[in-house]
Amino acid sequence: MVLNPNPTELDTVLTKSNFQNEKNGPFDATFLLGDVIPATVDALPTVDVGQTTYFSEGKHGISLQISSSTESDVNSQAVKPNLNFLLLHVNIITLKSKLTVMYVSGAAETNENHESVLKQMRENTRSIDILITYDWPLSIARNQNLMLVGSRFVDEITKTVKPRYHFAVGQDAGKFLEFPPFQWENGSSTRFISLGQEGSGEKWFYAFSMTKEIPPSTTGIEYGANPFDKPIGESLENSNKRLMDADIQNVVAKKPKVISSDQCFFCLSNPNVETHMIISIGSHSYLTVAKGPLTRSNKNLPFSGHAIIIPIEHIPSIRKENTSVADSPIYKEIKQFQNALVKSFIGNKTNYKLVSFEIDLKTNIHKHVQILPIPEYLIDKFGDHLTQRAELNNEKFAGKNHNLKFEKFNDDSSPELIDIINSSDHMIFTLHNSENEKTIYVAQLPDKDKTMVDLQFPRRVLANLLNLPKRVYWERCKQPKFKESQDCEEFKKFFHKFDFTLE
């Protein structure tokens, strides 16, 4: 039996699993997919598990509570009787029925050392009956026009292992798909099945029977085309090289979209605004956790820390003719939010410094400023790193992307800096070294220059600095609603003492 549980309802899922085992089993084993007990969960399940059950680390870490378990061997840890956490990135289990299961953790998929994992798989001489991964193979994701749930690494795993069954979830909330069975060149076949998360409204469990002996006849089975026969166009080695080089791409020039406030993702007047992510609301702007944050929660910081400061008014930029941006109440309140966040990270005695960034364009849909924590030891490395990334942009995309030249300031009231902010489109980074000490890097983006602006450049710079090359695109880092709510509540508690809007 294979289940994709909601980590906030794990006791409920295990109760249902016990019921199904008693009613329709006994099953040889139960396998849990996705993030079962992630780092955000601070309590282990209380339900007694009636059958042998396995799970591995997903993509959001593993609860610190698991380390307190005492019964363990070299490959797994008994969280409680019959509930086994698989410790390795790649785990091979032989069931009583002699079926062989390969469990690849979500952590292995985000780890950069993919070639060593694949080498381990190629050296495995056992046939794999069931493969469990987090992501889908990119070949199947492409077939379904759902590229963000796919991974080239999982393609390589699947082609190497050629399992009889392959289970995955594809994303935090899961996605149900039962792909038509297909054959390999050696005559073996694979059934790929992805499950939605429990509570999502999509199918979240799958029970089936199989034997170690493969039937000699496949009469009656209708095989679809093998999705792996169509080349993706890039090897895993080249893919990893591209990712480690931060996948610099130029932005295609498009006519600016006109979006009304009731349709704008950032507007509070939008009836679909995601209020569960709002930390604080001021008079002219509000603070929210970032959707698809670059940084992630960890044992030192129980929330991602990546936030966005957004004007309440639906405006592309604060800049107006014959008016100083610094005199705007919106600008002043954005600075007030930034200063309050700096105070909160100092006051809570973290080992992080804050970096804020924005691309201010008159063609923006809605102005916003992003701010996130980085380890304090990286602050001194930021300037040289930014210069290197700008030079790479200028050399690799000369004549296509805008040429970026950053000027450095140590005072945000500098007349030269204010003149740039008042007079031109610009890209700006601010390092908040302390409550009163800032380092500002700004690059002008003159209207007369018709080359394109890489809108991902700021996030790309920070992702590379933090060694998180796969987290450049926020769409690939989206979290389930429960995690967004959890992040927001943790951020509120952290920020509460310093939140000027509560005064």
Q: What is the pLDDT of residues 360-389, one digit of tens each?
A: 998 888 999 999 999 988 999 999 999 998
Dist. CA 273–CA 262, nearest whole Å: 9
- What's the pLDDT score for residue 222? 80
- What's the pLDDT score for residue 112? 53
pLDDT band for 74, please (50, 70, 90 cuts). Answer: low
Question: Does position 231 have pLDDT exceeding 80, yes or no?
Answer: no
Report whether 178 contacts 13 (CB < 8 A). Answer: no
302: Cβ contacts below 8 Å, ≥ 6 apart: 40, 490
DSSP label at residue 452: B
| Residues forming beta bridges with residue 104, ordered by sequence position | 90
pLDDT band for 89, please (50, 70, 90 cuts). Answer: confident
- What's the pLDDT score for residue 370? 97
Question: Does position 158 have pLDDT exceeding 80, yes or no?
Answer: yes
Domain boundaries in the chain? 2-242, 265-502
The fold adopted by the segment(s) 265-502 is: HIT family, subunit A (3.30.428)
Question: Does position 335 have pLDDT exceeding 50, yes or no?
Answer: yes
Report whether 177 contacts 187 (CB < 8 A). Answer: no
- Of the candidate ranges 193-197, 253-257, 463-467, the one whose mean pLDDT is the lowest: 253-257
Report whether 372 contacts 305 (CB < 8 A). Answer: yes
Across the range 73-95, mean pLDDT stands at: 86
pLDDT tens, position by position, 15-56: 999 999 999 889 999 999 999 998 777 788 999 999 999 999
Structure token digits, residue 57: 């680390």
33: Cβ contacts below 8 Å, ≥ 6 apart: 2, 3, 4, 5, 55, 132, 134, 167, 168, 169, 174, 195
pLDDT band for 279, please (50, 70, 90 cuts). Answer: very high
**How many residues are present in the chain?**
503
Of the candidates 100, 86, 85, 87, the one whose C-alpha atom is nearest the C-alpha of residue 130 is 100
Query: pTM of the predicted model, to two decimals?
Result: 0.55
Handedness of CA 26, 27, 29, 33 (dihedral sign): negative
Q: Are strands 130-132 and 165-168 parallel, antiparallel or unpaired?
A: parallel
Q: Give whole-number Cα distances, 116 to 125, 138, 157, 262, in Å.
A: 16, 20, 12, 50
Dist. CA 163–CA 101, nearest whole Å: 9
* 163 vs 77, higher pLDDT: 163
Dist. CA 23–CA 340, nearest whole Å: 57
- What's the pLDDT score for residue 284? 94
Dist. CA 2–CA 271, nearest whole Å: 37
Same fold, 2-242 and 265-502: no
- Name the class of domain 2-242: alpha beta
Question: Does position 223 have pLDDT exceeding 90, yes or no?
Answer: no
Across the range 439-461, mean pLDDT stands at: 85
